Structure 1
Amino acid sequence: MRQVPVLPVVVPVAAVTMAILLWRLSRRGRLTVPRAAVALALCVYAAGIVANTVFPIHLDAPRHHSAWTVYVTPFTDYEVNDAVTNIVVFVPVGILVHLLMARPPWWRVVGVATAISGSIELTQLLTGNLLGGGHLADVNDLIFNVVGAAIGLGAVTLLSRVPGVAPLVDRFRWTPDA
């Protein structure tokens, strides 16, 4: 079965995104090694998420003749292993959003995580039914992804309150405090 190759798609997009992020930081006079490390982490993380949630895309997959499949009933036929995986995979979202924004309120981080996870699930729904993608859209994934982002935000927020650690975290922060 022919597939859209992952690396020739994901790596150039990540590289271009990295160049744009570094250019924006430089243009704003905020480019430092720690902030460049955050840009690199963001690009590698996003590339990994896309590679593992959108691909494989089969070019010659048979067309679906039934209605589109999407799982919309929360906590039904969902395994603990899947929940833990989705939580762990989205912990970096809470951390990265905290570093990219000037101390965002929790609801903004949850909103960003919901938008990212919702976009992934919508992409899986579309690619799975129109392009022969290998993933199913599931509301449980969205729920546990958001839980993971909230845990990541909680962890970095607590770390930021530890005396001596806060200045270190601030070195990685992209925006000055509001």
Structure 2
Amino acid sequence: MGGMRPEPFVIPALPILLPLGAVLMVASWVVLRRRGTLTGRRLAAFWLASWYAVAVLGATLLPLEVDPGGAIEWFRINPVPLTMLRVRDFVLNIAMTVPLAAVLYVVFGVRDRARVLRVAVLVSASIEVTQTVLILTVHGNRWAEANDLVANVGGAWLGFLLFRRLLDVEGVRRAVDGSAAVPERTP
């Protein structure tokens, strides 16, 4: 009994992510309705933002392999940026956070670069800390890397630049402003 090691198991993605996405969709509708700002375009923007958050959660934490009796795989933790760089993962982390600036603009009214980058640092650091805790406690199959933090913030910055360029197109700006939960402030 005392020497038996618990069996590893997997926490699957879809049974968690699909209900979470549905809950966020309902919550979006409730929030917009209570604020008196419910429109079809705003609801669509909030739903897209909700599914973006679900996708980020799925890409960074799920599925999760749990090995309760396993050894800590220290090689999965890399606190030094731009070492042990896996180019594919670096590029995917950039791509994952490119939409962040648009989500922050439309849903939360965040319009300046410094705030977008601060949020990107906070979100990315939260992901990496969570992954580190999972590696140390349940011996998960994720990696916690400073490279991811660099790539995620770089992706958010690139997304900010691209989104600002898109807003220069009048039709895009009208569509975005009509969907935004927080209207553009005029000085």
Please indicate, yes or no, whether the TM-score normalized by the shorter chain is above 0.5.
yes
Aligned-residue CA RMSD (Å): 2.0
Of all paired residues, the percent bearing the same amino acid is 31
Query: Aligned-pair distance for 1:163?
Result: 3.0
- CA separation in 2, counterparts of 1:164 and 1:58? 45
Q: How many residues align?
A: 178
Q: Residue 169 of structure 1: which of 168, 176, 179 is its match?
A: 176
Partner of 2:42: 35
Structure 1 residues 56-65 or 99-108, which shifts more? 56-65
Flag structure 2 segments of 5+ consecutive residues without an equivalent: 1-7
- CA separation in 2, counterparts of 1:135 and 1:165? 38
Change (3 A) 1:69 1:2: closer
**Is the contact between residue 56 and residue 133 of structure 1 (CA under 8 Å) also seen in structure 2?**
no
Return the TM-score normalized by structure 2: 0.85
Change (3 A) 1:9 1:74: same
Return the TM-score normalized by structure 1: 0.89
Shift >3 Å, 4+ stretches: 59-62, 65-69
Flag structure 1 segments of 5+ consecutive residues without an equivalent: none
Change (3 A) 1:70 1:59: closer
Partner of 1:123: 130
Q: Residue 133 of structure 1: which of 140, 147, 154 is its match?
A: 140
**Larger CA Rg, structure 1 vs 2:** 2
Question: 1:173 corresponds to which letter in structure 2?
Answer: A
1:98 equivalenced with 2:108 (yes/no): no
Look up the SS of the partner of 1:99 in the other structure: helix
Q: Residue 143 of structure 1: which of 132, 135, 150 is its match?
A: 150
**Is the contact between residue 54 and residue 133 of structure 1 (CA under 8 Å) also seen in structure 2?**
no
Partner of 1:48: 55
**Is the contact between residue 73 and residue 135 of structure 2 (CA under 8 Å) also seen in structure 1?**
no
Change (3 A) 1:66 1:103: closer
